[in-house]
Amino acid sequence: MKTALVTGGLGFIGSNLVKILLKKRIVSRCILLDSFAGFINPLKDNFSDLRKYRFKEKKNIIIERGDAKDFRLIYKILDLYKPKLIFHTAAIPLAKIDNLNANESKIGSVDTTTNILECINFFQNKKKYKISRFVYISSSMVYGDFKKNKVSELDKLVPKEIYGTMKLAGEIVTKGLCKFYKIPFTIIRPSAVYGPTDMNNRVSQIFIEKAQKGQTINIQGKEEKLDFTFVEDLANGCISAATKKNGINETFNITYGKAETLYKFVKILSKHFKKLKYKIEKRDSFRPKRGTLSTNKAKKLLNYTPTYNLEKGIKKYIDFIKFFNKNKNN
């Protein structure tokens, strides 16, 4: 039985990976390793209700509770289930939280990665089995301030804060150990991921929730841009990179491939919320200046083609929230 292990499998990105892996029959079952850590208000209204929509269908899903830095637990999972694909999505899910604690950030991006790869190598040496791919989910924050209109995988990596720094450190650990241990790997750099069941207080979620409640949306910089990426597009891109030979030992930007301003995001919202209010504020100069990520490499090697532009993605996100609010007490 072909199996995938997804660390952080109950999270926003991890859960979408699992759904598509099973829907497309890439694997027969998924092992979800999750610590159930609640960095984002775990007891907040609707937290458990929102999360249940991540997995309506629980068939062929096994949940293991624990931390990816626990060697014995990783050993047990690899020994028992022998996953061929490992997607490492577990980490603190938001830059502004990571930036409060460098050590927690290091544990999430560096220590857990080291631990998993050490355990994989142990099994390879014992000749029990080999994995077909280790996929490390990094971030576009590794680039720091964008110095050009389109940033490619070949551009300089100069992270500006703790989150990007530790994500880059995780990339270095992945490349170094995987090459040394002869483990096939792929590194993914997403950007501004959004979509149904997100509850990590990303800018897209904050804007939509404020629009719903009739609260004023604060836009930090009218020209501030993000390469908004719908979560299903990211999941499909990750899976293509993990299953195609052209993805072996490569790094990919998996985004929509066209940045839009926060102002445009709000203007699209105004089509759905007629009484929407907003105000323009000065951008936070400490935050990295971001923009478009080139997806040419992913298109060429993986035939990656995102399907959700910002209007289509926002509509699907809002439709889900309306459905959720209508049914949350049922």
Express each pLDDT in 187-214 by its tens digit: 999 999 999 988 778 899 899 989 988 9
Residue 161 lies in a domain: yes
- The model's confidence at residue 225, banded by pLDDT at 50, 70 and 90, is very high
Q: Does some domain include residue 316?
A: no
Q: What is the CA radius of gyration of the chain?
A: 19
Give strand pairing partners of 250: 186
For residue 54, pLDDT over 50 is answered with yes
pTM: 0.92
Q: Does 53 fall in a domain? A: yes
Q: What is the mean pLDDT of residues 17-22?
A: 95
SS3 124: helix
Of 53 and 236, the structure prediction assigns the larger pLDDT to 236
Distance CA 35, CA 50 (A): 18
Mean pLDDT along residues 273-286: 84
Whether 97 is covered by a domain: the verdict is yes
Average pLDDT of every residue of the chain = 89
**pLDDT of amino acid 35:** 83
**For position 57, what pLDDT does the model report?**
64
- 52 has pLDDT over 70: no
The answer to whether position 34 is within a domain reads yes
What residues contact residue 286 under an 8 Å CB cut-off, 6+ apart?
160, 161
User: Can you tell me whether residue 205 is helix, strand or coil?
Assistant: helix
Q: Is residue 1 very low, low, confident or very high in pLDDT (cuts 50, 70, 90)?
A: confident
H helices within 126-161, ranges in order? Answer: none
* Domain assignment of residue 208, yes or no: no
Q: What angle do CA 207, 226, 264 make, to 5 degrees?
A: 55
Question: 234 in a domain, yes or no?
Answer: yes
Instruction: For 36, list phi and psi in degrees, rounded to 5.
Output: 60, 25
pLDDT for 39-49, tens place per residue? 443 334 444 55
Alpha-carbon gap, residue 34 to 6, rounded angstroms:
9
Nearest-5° Cα angle at 24, 18 to 27: 60
pLDDT at 153: 98
Residue 33 within any structural domain of the chain: yes
Q: What is the DSSP letter of 68?
A: T
Confidence of residue 108 (pLDDT cuts 50, 70, 90): confident
Which among 140, 237, 238, 156 is positioned nearest to 189, based on CA atoms? 140
Q: What is the CATH number of the domain that holds 177?
A: 3.40.50.720
Range scoring the smallest mean pLDDT among 114-128, 235-249, 313-327:
313-327
Which residues are paired to 226 by β-bridges? 260
Domain span including residue 66? 3-191+229-256+295-309
Mean pLDDT on 315-325:
88
Instruction: Give the pLDDT mean for 274-278.
Output: 89
What lies within 8 Å, CB to CB, of 71 at 6+ separation is: 115, 118, 119
Question: Count of residues for the chain?
Answer: 330
| 99 has pLDDT over 90 | no
Instruction: Give the whole-number percent of the chain exceeding pLDDT 90.
Output: 68
pLDDT at 50: 63
Q: What's the total number of domains in the chain?
A: 1
